Amino acid sequence: MNQATKTSSTRNFVARALHKAARMIDPPPPIAYLEDEYLTQLCFINAGILERGNIHSFEVAISHLPSAAPILEIGSFCGLSTNVLTYLKKKHGAVNPIINCDKWEFQKPIDGSPVYVGQSPIRIQDLERFARDAYIRNIRMFSAEDLPYTFEMTSDEFFAVWRAQEPRSDVLGRTYTLGGPLSFCFVDGNHTYEYVKRDFLNCDAFLEVGGFILFDDSTLLKDGVYKLMPEVVATGRYKLIAMNPYHLFQKIERGRQNGK
């Protein structure tokens, strides 16, 4: 190799390295937010932890739902995301019922002994009951015309009943027969990898082609959700619609084993 060739090769290598480095330090794309006075007030008054970018992803999904099949929310907490979903349903004329589940278990007692919140006299059990009561109060206030069906279950318990297509009583005392296809799933329950993977597999079994699934906190390295995202892509059956900043996928192909 002559000197001119060596120089050209070195320049190309340096150029490629700099280009790669530039891609690595590029700022992430800006998050799209939905500007809406009602939602601003709702997020101010309704307790909850909701990344505002999720609201934009909610709207993308709700405005393109493939059918009138239910919307599933895993994790309800104090009802903020639930009330956002019912508002966006009304905005876009969607008639899909909202089904959600939450056990309101923040921490299990050790050996039956009460667990307190830090150094306070408030027990975790009382905090859990308070959050459940706040949820009910909030949906009755902000989703009175379109109340969701909420089941006090873990997602594993919920899907066991969903598969069995059994009737159950929700937190408001109404009977609803679970089961059937889903049009949109918001996965915001236990954020460990093992739990969120089961949630994905369970949702995937019932999510319609053309339906959507949104994973909360999917880009945060402190949780295990981000570990699952490459596996969702690797199925070849989901198209990444947005990272705003969390992953919104659309199902583009049926599964081979579960018939979906």
pTM: predicted TM-score of the whole model, two decimal places: 0.86
pLDDT in tens, 14-52: 555 444 444 433 455 678 988 899 999 999 999 999 999
Beta bridge partners of 167: 177
Ordered alpha helix ranges (H), 78-119: 80-92
Task: Render pLDDT for 168-193 as a digit per residue (tens, 0 to 9).
Answer: 999 999 999 999 999 999 999 999 99
Give CA angle at 172 (178, 76), nearest 5°.
Answer: 70
* Domains present along the chain, CATH in parentheses: 32-251 (3.40.50.150)
